[in-house]
Amino acid sequence: QSALTQPPSASGSPGQSVTISCTGTSSDVGGYYFVSWYQQHPGKAPKLMMYEVSKRPSGVPDRFSGSKSGNTASLTVSGLQAEDEADYYCSSYAGSNTVLFGGGTKLTVL
Amino acid sequence: QVQLVESGGGVVQPGGSLRLSCAASGFTFSNYGMHWVRQVPGKGLEWVALIKYDGTDEYPGSVKGRFSLSRDNSKNTLSLQMNSLRPDDTAVYYCAKEGYGGYGCFDFWGQGTLVTVSS
């Protein structure tokens, strides 16, 4: 099993929208609606931002949204704010109780 | 509130063993799957182990046969026994609680414990 593919970097100006992609295969992203997204600030533990493709945990702003098409999932951050600058990781259930992560995307707010 | 506190990290020689622990509080521990996820400093996340509420465990190929996860529901603790350690096992190891029905969703994480495998 290989890691999911994410772009290494993404950027946008305050107030803009940015979308981060996460590409897998039919055995993981494409095969299940169990894609999650995590935000990680430097030196901190990851924080769950999205689960089951498009569901937001309590407390996550509705500026964050998720979607999936085929083998690619996406996280969109609208109305970018300075505090959104962080690393973002996707993960997907890959069957047989296993989980795959993406390589991570560094989001820069210009 | 949910708290996960890892301990047991440190420096170990290649081929050595180490046991990590995770103390959980703030939720009914016995009802949830628990995981370990590791991160090489400056790199991405890698799922390392799962133990379900019923004790079923699972590992990726990179650690299968070397790592073993157990849980003590009476003490709300999780233990990861790591044997035959290699330099590429060097990472921060996070304990994570399964949430929202499971299937790879981790809703709470500990702060991590650093494991360094080096001679």
Average pLDDT over all residues of chain A: 96
- Which pLDDT value is given to residue A1? 66
Say whether pLDDT at B38 is over 90: yes
B99-119 pLDDT, tens digit per residue, is 877 788 999 999 999 999 999
Q: Which of A1, A91, A102 sits opposite B104 (nearest CB)?
A: A91
Contacts of A101 in chain B (CB under 8 A): 37, 44-47
Q: What is the mean pLDDT of residues A41-59?
A: 96
- Which pLDDT value is given to residue A2? 77
A22-36, A51-65, B30-44, B96-110: range with lowest mean pLDDT? B96-110
Segment A48-52 long-range contacts (CB within 8 Å, at least 24 positions apart): A48/B99, A48/B105, A48/B106, A48/B107, A48/B108, A49/A75, A49/A88, A50/A75, A51/B99, A51/B100, A51/B105, A51/B107, A52/B100, A52/B101, A52/B105
- Which pLDDT value is given to residue B103? 85
Q: What is the mean pLDDT of residues B27-32?
A: 95
Q: Which of A99, A101, A106 to mutate to test the interface with B (most CBs of B within 10 A)?
A: A99
